[in-house]
A = this chain, B = another copy of it.
């Protein structure tokens, strides 16, 4: 069992994106059941030792990532794709979704158009035409990118509230 645990750990450590069960099974040549048990034990181990690293389930995928309270240390070395301003706009959309692009521009200024472009390119938000403007929501990828366990909009909002209380 320990060997399975280590194999799963290796795969999760090496990947910079959350992995689906089949990907982990494929890379480790382990059965779904063994992989699932290994993930659960791994998660427990990292939690018990108080590591800055956590093993989380994000939607249907699994990921090894820094716990939120430690991400500041890692940020300078991580490959960050988005400027801070665009992240602010992303937070605004996530918290108020669904939100009209025109309303967003009224609230945050016209630079949101540039942010929305970036966020759509990064596949973090989805836009649906609504009259002359767009209705914006977070995409499925949003939760993965920010390490949020669920991609339901209510859960994202709740997660954001929790993060705010923690900080």
* Chain A residues within CB distance 8 Å of chain B: 2, 6-7, 9-11, 13-16, 19, 26-28, 45, 49-53, 66, 70-71, 73-79
Across the interface, A11 reaches (CB within 8 A) one of B15, B50, B73, namely: B73
Report A4 CB to chain B, min CB distance, Å. Answer: 11
How many copies make up the complex? 2
> Which residues on B sit within 8 Å (CB–CB) of A70?
6-7, 9-10
> Which residues on B sit within 8 Å (CB–CB) of A27?
73, 76-77
Known contacts A7-B70, A70-B6: does B51 contact A14 (CB below 8 Å)?
no
With a 10 A CB-CB cut-off, give which of A2, A7, A27, A77 has the most chain B CB atoms: A77
Do A7 and B77 touch (CB < 8 A)?
no
Do B28 and A73 touch (CB < 8 A)?
yes
Q: Cα distance A75–B10 when bound, in Å?
A: 9
